[in-house]
């Protein structure tokens, strides 16, 4: 298994969404908050990847918070896929080596 350098965990809120207790917009807000909470950790690990998280991925979730946004589950899944891909970025060339972030499903 990879040596994850940080973790983003919003699994409890994702379960709430699956149970119908929160909306997809609420879930997007939780992901946004989790990213913001961990940006300083990402910066210590890799400045360029932290910039990518802040400038490219975080706005995907922030945009879902606008009242006029019509967020679909497919939109959210596409943004989440970008987050998973970012987290899976290898930080070395070793088998099972360092990877940026474990995004808890």
Instruction: Give the pLDDT confidence of 43-94 residue by residue, as tens digits.
Output: 999 999 999 999 999 999 998 876 656 778 898 999 999 999 999 999 999 9
Query: The whole model's pTM is what?
Result: 0.91
What residue numbers bound the domain in which 75 lies? 3-89+97-101
State the Cα–Cα distance between residues 13 and 77, nearest whole angstrom. 15
Compute the residue count for the chain: 105
Count of domains observed in the chain? 1
């Amino acid at each position: 298994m990879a040596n994850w350098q940080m973790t983003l965990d919003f699994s409890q809120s994702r379960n709430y969404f699956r149970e119908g207790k929160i909306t997809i917009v609420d879930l997007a807000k939780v992901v946004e908050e989790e990213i913001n909470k961990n940006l300083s950790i990402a910066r210590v690990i890799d400045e360029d990847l932290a910039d990518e998280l802040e400038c490219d991925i975080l706005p995907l979730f922030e945009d879902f918070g606008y009242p006029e946004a019509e967020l679909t589950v497919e939109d959210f899944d596409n943004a989440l896929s970008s987050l998973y891909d970012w987290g899976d970025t290898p930080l070395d060339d070793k088998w099972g080596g360092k990877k940026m972030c474990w995004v808890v499903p």
